[in-house]
Amino acid sequence: MVKQRTLRTGVDSRRHLQLPRPLIPMTRAVTRKRVPGDIQRVVVIGAGLSGLAAACRLRASGLEVTLVEAADAVGGRCRTETLESKHGSFEADTGATVLTMPSLVESMVHSLGQHMPESWKPQRLSPAYHAQFASGRQINVFGDSARMCSEISRFAREKFADEGGSAVAQRERALISGYERHRSWSQEMFTASYENFLAADFDSLIDLIATPASSSDLLRLLGLGAFGRLGPSTRRHLGDEELEKLFTFQALYAGESPASALAVYSVISHMDTAMGVYYPQHSIGEAAEVMADALRAAGAKVRLNTPVKSLQISGDRILGVELEDGEYLAADAVVATPDLPIIDKLAGKRQRTKRARPLPVRWSPSAVVIHGTVPSEVAQGWEAQFHHTISFGEEWEQIFKEITAVKGKGQLMSAPSLLITRPAVSAPSRRRTSKEGVVYEPISILAPTPNLHSAAIDWPRITDRYVAELLTEMENRGWEGLSDHLSIGRVDTPATWERKHGYGAGTPFSLAHSLFQTGPFRPRNTRAYGLENLVLAGSGTTPGVGVPTVLLSGALAARRITGGGVR
């Protein structure tokens, strides 16, 4: 249970609210350096989750905060957009579709001395995922341990039915025991890594052992095998290739294959499969919108349609930010959240320091995402009636080799594994009616691909053909009528990610979390480009990629400026 405390904010010292303790321990003793100087005015560039989180923490500390966003809405890579298909307009979650640890969003709003709006009612998806295997077997993933054991029991009885009698019972017990062992292990990994690894930034390697708490956690992580490999560790627990996929596919979020990802990234799987996957009442974009509303209410400036042209620099300090329309915003400090190539351009001729970007750079795989609509009558005929369905291809290790290959060696998945998202299953408000009276709903289909550095694919030329191939494959897997009835509103590819958003190597998943691009080796959030009052936040810096992680990144960036919690 989360303890309660009385919180006094710098925004309005007359307010006393009983609110949950922030999930990032912003007031614990740390050795991290603070941005020098008297900081009163801060400009935050980018209103994605990390920028919003940083702005919340900075405003809660009593600073003057201006948040500027080039797009016409907040959210960044966690945004819900209105698109058009032949059926009519529809809302699509065009970035993240999986929300874990929603209490982090609540923590940001609470830091401003505000309650969450009544409309904020994130629902825990049950199941978190539905999985389809190439064998034809299926399984649901539940966060509740007892329910998951029951589901594994059913799965085992069906899978090993031909063995008969006591052999089936033995298999069943072994799988349940393996799952319980893996769940306990990943829970311990999460507990040991959260405060001093996941919710942490670094000035040097020494920070791993700079305090008694961090030293203790590091020893605990070593004992758990955190710096071994995720795939083999999970295999030792579960002993079943299909179940193993459920608890290792999240390595893709870290830009690695399960065979090469560090075992510590079992924490990503743990957040999904044990702590729970959530979804707001209507759309994923609500997570960003509630923070933006709280910021406005707290007196911060949130400016949309406001692209930044450059940083105005004198010596080793930023004096302000020049906007595209010529307006100048003076700043004592700047928090920059865009992808690293975009910040490169803003900084002009200054080069990123080695501590800001380890070499050589490795980017995560990218993805093709199809956003469209289908008549609800067609969708209701599918066997998979779930918010999230993972359809696994047959060649598991091979497809990771294909999409994570080194420069020039990548290729499209030979046996695609796909994530299919149907938000209307849990948010019926997403259904609409066309002019012809047809009720339709959104669907998104994500297919991982190599990034632009890994494979020189001519995406403008092949996109239509590749989409047709994916839809045919889905038809063969039971999604009948999809090819004939899907009306596509937009297709995002590595080429569009790069052209429209400036993402490095055309991937929305930023830098891969390889050994030398993780923890203290990841691009640090201070002194980038040698500028003492520029702080980075977002997926390209510490702690890394993912919805919970970028929220933590924003809070850590704010701590670099404020030196602690609210004041």
- 257 CB-side CA count, 13 A: 17
**Model confidence pTM above 0.85:** yes
Residues 180 and 298 in one domain: no
The pLDDT value given to residue 6: 29
Residues 173 and 253 in one domain: yes
Task: Identify the residue with better confidence: 10 or 126.
Answer: 126
Residues 347 and 432 in one domain: no
The pLDDT value given to residue 430: 97
- Asked whether residue 11 is assigned to any structural domain, the reply reads no
Q: What tokens were used for 136?
A: 């034809």
Percentage of the residues of the chain whose pLDDT score is greater than 70? 93
Residues 547 and 414 in one domain: no
Residue whose C-alpha is closest to residue 23's, from 526, 538, 518, 548: 548
Residues 488 and 528 in one domain: no
- The sign one gets for the Cα dihedral 88, 89, 90, 95 is positive
Choose the final residue of a domain: 241, 275, 309.
275
Q: What tokens were used for 477?
A: 């897997």
Average pLDDT, the chain: 91
Residues 473 and 520 in one domain: no
Residue whose C-alpha is closest to residue 507's, from 256, 172, 135, 202: 256
Residue 308 clears pLDDT 50, i.e. is over it = yes
Segment (H or E) for 226 = none
- Asked whether residue 83 is assigned to any structural domain, the reply reads no
Residues 482 and 500 in one domain: yes
Are 56 and 44 in contact, with CB atoms under 8 Å apart? Answer: no
pLDDT bracket for residue 350 (50, 70, 90): confident
| Domain total of the chain | 3
- Asked whether residue 94 is assigned to any structural domain, the reply reads no
Percentage of the residues of the chain whose pLDDT score is greater than 90? 85
pLDDT bracket for residue 20 (50, 70, 90): very low
Residues 384 and 491 in one domain: yes
Which whole number is the average pLDDT over 296-304? 98
Residue whose C-alpha is closest to residue 535's, from 518, 516, 555: 555
The pLDDT value given to residue 30: 64
- Asked whether residue 523 is assigned to any structural domain, the reply reads yes
- Asked whether residue 240 is assigned to any structural domain, the reply reads yes
Residue whose C-alpha is closest to residue 528's, from 45, 188, 30, 17: 45
Supply the CATH number for residue 294's domain.
3.50.50.60
Four-point Cα dihedral 558, 561, 566, 567, nearest 10: -170
- Residues 158-163: contacts with CB under 8 Å, at least 24 apart: 159/242
List, in sequence order, the alpha helices (H) in 194-336. 212-224, 230-238, 241-246, 266-270, 286-297
Choose the final residue of a domain: 494, 510, 526.
510
- Which amino acid belongs to residue 98? V
The pLDDT value given to residue 21: 41
Q: Which residues contact 330 (CB under 8 A, 6 or more apart)?
A: 41, 319, 320
Residues 472 and 350 in one domain: no
Are 288 and 54 in contact, with CB atoms under 8 Å apart? Answer: no
pLDDT bracket for residue 341 (50, 70, 90): very high
Q: DSSP character for 529?
A: G
pLDDT bracket for residue 528 (50, 70, 90): confident
- Asked whether residue 269 is assigned to any structural domain, the reply reads yes
- The sign one gets for the Cα dihedral 528, 534, 537, 543 is positive
Looking at 21-103, which runs of residues are DSSP E strands? 41-45, 64-68, 80-85, 88-93
Instruction: Give SS3 for 126.
Output: coil
- Asked whether residue 396 is assigned to any structural domain, the reply reads yes
- Which amino acid belongs to residue 367? A
Residues 371 and 416 in one domain: yes
Which whole number is the average pLDDT over 319-332? 97
The pLDDT value given to residue 332: 98
Residues 376 and 445 in one domain: yes
pLDDT tens string 544-555:
999 999 999 999
First to last CA, the chain: 26
Residue whose C-alpha is closest to residue 68's, from 439, 323, 410: 323
Q: Which residues contact 149 (CB under 8 A, 6 or more apart)?
A: 176, 179, 180
Residue 2 clears pLDDT 80, i.e. is over it = no
Task: Measure the CA–CA gap between 536 and 554, rounded to whole angstroms.
Answer: 8
The C-alpha angle 502, 503, 504, rounded to 5 degrees, equals 115
The pLDDT value given to residue 253: 85
Choose the final residue of a domain: 244, 275, 306.
275
β-pair type (317-323, 4-7): unpaired
Residue whose C-alpha is closest to residue 44's, from 403, 295, 391, 409: 295
Task: Measure the CA–CA gap between 64 and 301, rounded to whole angstroms.
Answer: 9
Q: Hey, how many other C-beta atoms are within 10 angstroms of the C-beta on 488?
A: 17
Instruction: Give SS3 for 329.
Output: strand
Residue whose C-alpha is closest to residue 58's, from 76, 45, 71: 45
- Asked whether residue 210 is assigned to any structural domain, the reply reads yes
Residues 262 and 317 in one domain: no
Residue 440 clears pLDDT 60, i.e. is over it = yes
Which of 72-86, 356-370, 407-421, 480-494 is predicted least confidently? 356-370
> What does residue 537 show for φ and ψ, rounded to 5 degrees?
-145, 160
Task: Measure the CA–CA gap between 548 and 104, rounded to whole angstroms.
Answer: 7
Residue whose C-alpha is closest to residue 511's, from 554, 563, 566, 549: 549
- Which domain range does residue 243 map to? 143-275
Residue 185 clears pLDDT 80, i.e. is over it = yes
The pLDDT value given to residue 122: 96
The pLDDT value given to residue 25: 52
The pLDDT value given to residue 1: 29
